[in-house]
Amino acid sequence: MRRAVRCALPPIAQERWLMTTPDSQPRLDPITDAGSGEVPADPNRFFNRDHSWLEFNARVLAMCADATVPLLERVRFMAIYSRNLDEFYMKRVGALRHAIETGISGTTYEPLTPAQVLHTMRTRVCELDGRQAGILREQLLPALGEAGIALLAWTELSESERAEAQAWFRRNIFPILTPLAVDPGHRFPFISNMSVSLGLVVRRPGEPETMFARVKVPNTPTRLYELRCGRRFIPIQEIIEHNLEELFPGMEILQVLPFRVTRDAEIEAERDASDDLLESVEQKLKERKFARVVRLEVASGASPRMLRFLMEELDLGAEDMYETSGLTDYGILDTIADIDLPALKYSRWTPLPPVELSGEVSTSIFSQIRKGDIFLHHPYQSFDLSVERFIKVAAEDPKVLCIKQSLYRTSGDSPFIASLIRAAESGKQVAVLVELRARFDEARNIEWARKLENAGVHVAYGVIGLKTHTKTALVVRQEADGIRCYGHVGTGNYNSKTAKLYEDVGILTSDPLITEDLVGLFNYMTGRSRQTKFNKLLIAPVSMKRRFIELIEREMQLHASGRPGRIIAKMNQLEDRGVMDALYRASQAGVQIDLIVRGFCCIRPGLAGLSENIRVRSIIGRFLEHSRIFYFGAGRAEPLEGDFFIGSADWMYRNLQTRVEAATPIDLLEHRRILWTTLEYALADVRQSWQLHADGTYARVSDTGVPADDPRHLGLHQRLMNDAMAVLARHRGDPSVLGQPISGSSQLAPQHQSKSGRRKPKSQRRVG
């Protein structure tokens, strides 16, 4: 548990593996016609998405070694790194294996074959896993020890502690263990996905024959036992491993090998009009349980015979096996990260109510929305007091006639489900689009779909051939002057739990053009309408990609005419080749482009003649950057006069072509100012920001030359928390903040004034 990691295969020569072909440079032909030129079809202009994803996870791992991050948060980042990697193997490796078996080779856009991608991925994973084990052993465990927290091996327990652990084991663990031997009368047991097992070689005393046996480590809520003295922990796996004689009395235990398997989780339940998608997804979930194994992790020191046996039984090759001397299950670190020691964690943050909704709860949320759009920025502003309240009030309001909502991922005890059921039971018309194919949430969404249907809710599963990823809701209300529609368009899921950790934006609106679009969108999703024209919303796959490329090309044309060309885009991933080629053309035309991409990014910035005007940053910190924000300067010197959009889609092929997505323009100046400030803070961050270089490597943004008292040292998240507190305090008349500018925003976008010098009313300050 304390040693380093080594690969099971011979080491592979280190290379600039992130690039699509090692040590290659694109052959670039400058484009002179900015409006219609073509980027040379050199495949090396893109990074491989899987390799780039591993670099994203490397940035997550770097948080574990960052001394400026509170200790228990560093421990949690280590658990997150491992969970991320588990999901990566479940989602991507099976697809690559299938490509190898079906003979798929490199393409115009991807010169590496699937086998080469897997080979280089494995090299990088071995390197990162070794780094992870070293950080745990050399940094985190000693620091935890200094804080009075210990993660122990069995050999580190005192005699009294061993006796305590054994007594606990006999009461709580021993009764649920099932030893399974493999012999002519007992087949090799099924090994469930992500389960930790102990493989044993045993024999009867005096007999030469040996046999294999397996003991599954139970998946209990916590996989650590805390000794009575407090804050001294030992993995349950360790306790079982050192008490196996109680499971195999009278047998000799010759070898014990902890191991874990990862199975392919890629299921795509497509259907035609005659199929039942719910039944199809249920069937695929059953098949997933028995899907092929794509990774075998084993503790170091195993005998070659044991490894050969496991690989034969699991139908694996040597390249699928990863030998590690780190923890077999890093998920146990979540228990340590949950210890209630505020001094070792990020300072507590409670999302604040939006200013417009910060008055009495009895104040009608609909009357507030009628006064003007309400912009929401989570987790700085409360999701519960805004979006959740919007649906809850609608369910209880007798004037509300209809509620429609799309659900992609929601929490296990979702208040949205309760509100929608309550609305249906009170006689309202309720229609819900439940995406059954949200990966790893399929079973939960099936459960919610059935529960909603049983309550009388109209449940649809989306458009044939497309996943529904849009984050939209619509409320239809009878008012004195007739029927009025209210809507929500956002970037994040309707999930009250993740909304406290994920950064997202959205608007509550009664704009008739947007709500008319929402009516059409829900008809498109539930009724298979063929609507292709929308007033304001950009809808994928109908118009979104085309419109974004048009906006990129407009910036090229404006720059060519002597006006400033400017693009800033913030998203989770960037991979769509059509959009990336448009960005390359814009860069060649001289347009300045900043991309803030948290996860994998396939565009190559900083290459002379192609992308020297493109810069890419990634921010990893206390909140997960999840919002999608798009800014196009429109040739204006004043930033707030450009075009702003927020939406559910990253610039990825799947989002723009194979999913239903929605993005909305942001018109009000106050809201544009919030978005501009967010983008400026992100681009100025010197605390938690990384810069992507042309060779595919990332480096932390340096704070060299930044004065010690400069707010850039606070980082994006702390600055936005400070701003949220200041805005609410200012609204409430707190004299300590009156007259003080919000950090950094006063110099960005001066407030527009009427000719009389007074600010225009909020409802009149729209742009575009």
**Residues catalogued as catalytic:** 469
C-beta neighbour count of 287 within 10 angstroms: 12
- Cα radius of gyration (the chain): 28
Q: Is 383 helix (H, G, I), strand (E, B) or coil?
A: coil
Task: Burial-class residue 306 by CB neighbours within 10 Å (0-12, 13-18, 19+).
Answer: buried
Answer whether 245's CB lies under 8 Å from 166's CB.
no
Beta bridge partners of 592: 566
SS (H, E, C) 722-739: HHHHHHHHHHCCCCCCCC
The helix (H) or strand (E) run that includes residue 88 is: helix 71-88
Burial 630-659 (b: 16+ CB within 10 A, else e): bbbbbbbeebbbbbbbbbbbbbbebbbeeb
Beta strands in 600-697 (DSSP E): 614-619, 624-625, 628-632, 643-647, 659-665, 689-692
- Which of 61-84 are b and which e, b meaning 16 or more Cβ less than 10 Å from the residue's Cβ? bbbbbbeebbbbbbbbbbbbbbeb
**Can you give the length of the chain in residues?**
768
Question: Nearest Cα to 330, choosing from 86, 153, 124?
Answer: 86
Helix %, strand %, coil % for the chain, to 5? 40, 20, 40
CA–CA gap between residue 66 and residue 110 (Å, rounded): 35
Strand order in the sheet with 293-299: 180-182, 211-216, 196-203, 252-263, 293-299, 321-324
Q: Measure CA 116 to chain center.
A: 26
User: Which of 328, 353, 456, 339 minimizes the C-alpha distance to 403?
Assistant: 456
Q: Find tokens 């994040």 and name the residue.
A: 492
| Cβ pair 213, 179 in contact under 8 A | yes
What six digits make up the tokens of 710? 């400069």
* CA distance linking residue 654 with residue 468, whole number of Å: 11
